[in-house]
Chains A and B, each alone.
Chain A
Amino acid sequence: MARLVESTITFPYRRSLGPVVGAFMTALTEMRILGTRSGDAVLVPPMEWDPRTGAELGNDLVEVGPSGTVESWTWVPNPSAQHPLAQPFAFAFIRLDGATTPLLHAVDAGSPNAMSVGARVAPRWRGERVGAITDIVCFVLGESAEIEGTDAGPASEPVTRMDYEASITYRNPVPVSADRVIEASQEHRLLGQKCPVCERVYAGGRGYCPIDAVELGEGHEVDLSDVGTITNFSIVTPVQYPGQTETEPFVRAFVLLDGSDVILSYQPVIELPATDVRVGQRVVAVWASPAEDSDEGGAMGGTYGRLIGWMPNGEPDIDDPDLVNRIF
């Protein structure tokens, strides 16, 4: 079985809510629930458009609830971290008084025996409300709304945006051929794979030839030189974003390896300032020292295993006018 490498991507997205959902969220901070009229119907939560036809609705908002009736429910016996409540609870379709459509929310009923279709429920409001559906912690059985904690009052400004902290964790299998490249990198060897059909050589344990759709494995391995020539490069001015690791312009270089036709793309450089990088420059691979961390996930950031980048080796530049065109 392939080795699995875990990685997590997170980002603080900010949604703009638009006039209708914005009004709904603003009202939640006031402990009011809004619906919208659509003909004889009252849709909750309110929508900008008729969900059946796409026709524009008139933004005719109307207050509903806050109490309502359970129309359907299911029990969640083992809540996960992403569920609205830590203890077992019901997800229920709740038709709020005055609404013609049900709202999906949690009911803190204690036991499934306490839940029934037709049960009356009321919201448990969060004390600190920000303009999100979670301003309603959950619903509780009965007619009386509650407040959890101290009531901090409504939002001081209309709510127009909503923060959404997205996070996803992947467990990616590392292909066997990439694992062999990482393994070879422990001995400071660069492995390539040669396609038996077109004879192109690929670096990084690609595992296939994209031209011939041929699988490449152990039998196709060739040793590559760890000395090469910069053919082209990128000097990136970093834009700041959550998760950005760079603050100063940084270089990514394309390295044509000696004795082969292999280009390593977007390689980090070491001891080579952005102002000094040039086409034709001779470089040698830099390997992580045994104490240093290395990328065990394969070809992330363009390098392979314990290969961490390239530095000038002091040899004179190569003067070849076609070098700059060798990007791939």
Chain B
Amino acid sequence: MSSIPCAVVGVGQTHHKSRRLDVSFGGLVREAVFRALDDAEMTLEDIDAVVLGKAPDLFEGVMKPELYLSDALGAVGKPMFRVHTAGSVGGTTAIVAASHVQAGKHRTVLAVAFEKQSEGNAQFALGSGKGASLGAGGAFAPFIRSYIHRSGAPEHIGWKVAVKDRLNALKNPYAHLQIADISIEKVRASPMMWDPIRFLESCPSSDGACAVVLTDEAGGLAAADAGRPPAWLLGASSRSEPPSFPGRDPVRPAAAMVCAADVYAQAGITNPREQIDMAELYVPFSWHEAIWLEAFGIAEEGDGWRMIDDGSTELGGSFPVNCSGGVLSSNPIGASGLLRFAEAANQVRGAAGEHQVDGAKVALAMAYGANSQYFSTWAVGAEQRPFG
């Protein structure tokens, strides 16, 4: 790819909770932004452009929040962009921000994403303001039923993912859900919400924000010289497909597979399972870990659940997934994708704290949205070109 190298040099996030009643909208995003700027040892003056992502405006009932937040984000007199690709938006926000750096248009770009779910109601918003909203669980349950049927996976796979991600969340001080006594028994005993998805196999509703500072090669090298290792962007891609058409397969969406192939080609990844050290996958319902392991070519078709069953995707396993606790532990919807991308960056920077994967050099992050039709993915590395 003949573009300017891009590095992540700052990452910040809020503490995620059901209700962050202590902060305004602006205060919430600024909490993440200043953590990212501090991490990058920068100020708002160092930022050349701002990219903001969030889920539909109906979630908080503020139309065009990017206008309302431009001064809160220090964007006065600077280019300011709003990105919107439903649940994948946080990932797409990072990719749009990166593309400004890669294109040489702006040197240092701030990517910000947030959701303040406590101000409205996600089920209301997802149901377009009408009764009998399916919610995300109702929309995705048939896809999961199809996956279970075709893979022959046993039902405890979903419970295992639910437990693993909540155990990981106990190592992440920012994570919303902190369920110290999480267990297979507890997940299995939780109410059935959208058959076959149980309550504890589902993501929470969270208030939260995430911010990432991206800069060019000189900025990345300067951070490295100063003892603050950057995460180098190895490949980034967004792909989409229509929400419905005859024969569409939401378990292996074409857009997901094309998106993954594009990122791997950019990064020089030919064997994802071996060359990638960990992944932050967008898993709002437990079974999506298996589904995305397969659609993203990390496991063979039909085998994703085996990586879960044998413990490969646990922290300490051969291919850890969602060491941060993932979407299953914190879900500020608009920010959830950017959190995946930020957590992947922190892993290769060696900055993931207690949930750090030992020696992680290459990490993958993905987010998906709407009717499993928008996909955003990036691969980041501790080195600029680990695979030539």
Contact = CB atoms under 8 A, between A and B. Distances in A.
A327 B44 contact: no
B22 interface: yes
Contacts of B129: 9-11, 243
A48 B142 contact: no
A114 interface: no
B30 interface: yes
B142 to A, nearest CB: 4
B21 A16 contact: yes
B119 interface: yes
Label chain A's interface by main secondary structure.
mixed
Interface in B245-271: 245-251
B183 interface: no
A69 to B, nearest CB: 25
A219 interface: no
Contact of A160 (B21, B74, B76, B192): B21
A262 B73 contact: no
Contacts of B19: 16
Interface string A238-273: 110111111000101010000001110110000000
Interface bracket on B: 35 or more
Given A14-B118, A53-B44, A324-B146, A252 B193 contact: no
Contacts, number: 172
Contact of A236 (B130, B194, B242, B251): B194
Given A9-B128, A16-B20, A243-B124, A234 B138 contact: yes
B101 to A, nearest CB: 21
Given A16-B19, A234-B195, 13 more contacts: A11-B58, A13-B120, A14-B118, A14-B119, A16-B24, A56-B34, A202-B246, A211-B242, A235-B141, A244-B131, A261-B246, A325-B149, A328-B244
A282 to B, nearest CB: 18
A233 interface: yes
B383 interface: no
B132 A238 contact: yes
Interface in B53-79: 58, 60-61, 71-76
Q: Which of A21, A210, A234 has the largest number of chain B CB atoms within 10 A? A: A234
A235 B195 contact: yes
Interface string A24-63: 0000000000000000000000011111111110000000
B142 A242 contact: no
Contacts of A161: 21
25 contacts: A9-B129, A11-B120, A13-B119, A15-B119, A18-B24, A21-B24, A49-B72, A51-B71, A53-B74, A54-B74, A56-B30, A164-B61, A202-B246, A210-B245, A234-B134, A235-B192, A237-B194, A238-B133, A243-B130, A244-B123, A244-B133, A254-B142, A265-B244, A266-B134, A325-B146
Interface of A: 9-11, 13-21, 47-56, 160-161, 164, 166, 200-202, 209-211, 232-239, 241-246, 250, 252, 254, 261-263, 265-266, 279, 300-301, 321, 324-325, 327-328
Interface in B111-130: 116, 118-121, 123-124, 128-130
8 nearest CB pairs, A to B: A54-B74, A245-B131, A18-B24, A9-B129, A328-B248, A210-B242, A236-B138, A232-B142
Given A236-B194, A265-B244, A49 B30 contact: yes
Contacts of B74: 53-55
A153 B3 CA distance: 64
Given A201-B246, A246-B131, A327-B146, A49 B26 contact: yes
Contacts of B27: 18-19, 48
A147 B241 CA distance: 59
B61 A54 contact: no
A48 B124 contact: no
A200 B145 contact: no
Given A9-B129, A13-B119, A232-B145, A239 B135 contact: yes
Contacts of A17: 24
A55 B134 CA distance: 42
Given A11-B129, A53-B76, A234 B142 contact: yes
A146 B72 CA distance: 35
Q: Which of A15, A49, A54 has the largest number of chain B CB atoms within 10 A? A: A54
Contact of A51 (B76, B131, B192): B76
A237 to B, nearest CB: 5
